[in-house]
Amino acid sequence: MVVVRLSNCDEFVTLRLWEAGTLGITEGDGFVDAYFDDIKTARQFGDPQPVVEEDWIARTQEAFPPLLVGERFFVAAPWRIEPTPPGRLRLVINPGAQCGTGYHRCTQLCLEAMEKLIRPGDSVLDVGSGSGILSIAAKLLGAKRVVACDIDPDAAGPESFFIGSVDAVRSGAFDVVVANINEDVMGPMRADFERVARTRILSGFQDDDGEWTCVVI
């Protein structure tokens, strides 16, 4: 087994690691370590170093402690047994399967905006759903109808899901559309976001100061 250390690893790099077949990922102070059986694959991400065999599953699980997000969410992996704090909504997500673990700032910003804007009975479209974390959050907030879409067939949504994007949705079909996607991908989709929903929560990009941000329009 070998390990590659990466700095400034965001959710998109994390997804590439999982797609490449990493055995597990652990987080440190400003870096992540990704473990591989195949040294050739590991070299795609950096300089692999041999490691002493250990329980990498346990280490990976320890790297995802429960997380308080905003005023209402308690994000927890399925194996965490800590009780949900009073007044919080337990948002269970399996980190690593797809983009959207809850630990990236963009995901957190979306969740913080959603808890303020989504009302019981709303209809919500989650574009580029990845792990389905934002769709699940919408249901916890009381959304009556949640539809998720992604161009990746392995992506997820808690209810309705289709392979595709916002251009396949009829105008005015939703109260809220939420998307946490790379800015270059999102740019050409802005007109469709405006067309399908009265409220748009958009993230996945940085402001002029290089800080991750979320806009509500």
Residue 6 structural domain: 2-62
Residue 84 lies in a domain: no
Does residue 67 lie within any of the structural domains? Answer: no
Confidence (pLDDT) at 29 = 78
Q: Which of 62, 80, 112 is the last residue of a domain?
A: 62
- Residue 150 pLDDT exceeds 70: yes
Pairing of the two strands 67-69 and 145-150: unpaired
- Above 90 in pLDDT, residue 100? no
**Is the pLDDT score of 15 beyond 90?**
no
- 8 vs 27, 33, 38, 104, 213, CA distance in Å? 11, 11, 23, 11, 17
Domain boundary among 42, 62, 82: 62
Confidence of residue 114 (pLDDT cuts 50, 70, 90): very high
> Do 136 and 31 lie in a common domain?
no
pLDDT-derived band at 107 (thresholds 50, 70, 90) equals very high
For residues 108 and 51, membership in a common domain is answered with no
Residue 37: partners with Cβ closer than 8 Å, 6 or more residues away: 1, 2, 21, 23
Q: What is the pLDDT of residue 97?
A: 58
- For all residues of the chain together, what is the average pLDDT? 90
Q: How confident is the model at residue 96 (pLDDT cuts 50, 70, 90)?
A: low
Task: Clarify whether residues 198 and 135 are in a common domain.
Answer: yes
Residue 75: inside a domain, yes or no? no
**CATH code assigned at 42:** 3.30.70
pLDDT of 56 above 70: no
Q: What percent of the chain has pLDDT over 90?
A: 57
Between 182 and 172, the more confident residue is 172
97 within domain boundaries: no
Pick 7 or 157 by higher pLDDT: 7
Whether 141 is in a domain gets the answer: yes
**Residue 54: band (very low, low, confident or very high) from pLDDT cuts 50, 70, 90:** low
| Domain contains 87 | no
What are the backbone angles phi and psi of residue 43, rounded to the nearest 5°?
-65, -20
CA dist 205 and 148 (Å) reads 20
Is 52's pLDDT higher than 80?
A: no
Pair 111, 68: CB distance under 8 Å:
no
Written as one string, the DSSP assignment of 55-99 is: -HHHHHHHTS--EEETTTEEEE-TT--PPPPTT-EEEE--TTSSS
Residue 145, class by beta-carbon neighbours within 10 Å (0-12 exposed, 13-18 middle, 19+ buried)?
middle
- Distance in angstroms (rounded) separating the CA atoms of residues 68 and 66: 7
Whether residue 83 lies inside any domain: the answer is no
Domain total of the chain: 2
Which position has the token pair 């700032």?
105
Does any domain span residue 187?
yes
Same domain, 113 and 208: yes
Residue 195 and residue 31: Cα distance in Å, rounded? 40
pTM surpassing 0.95? no
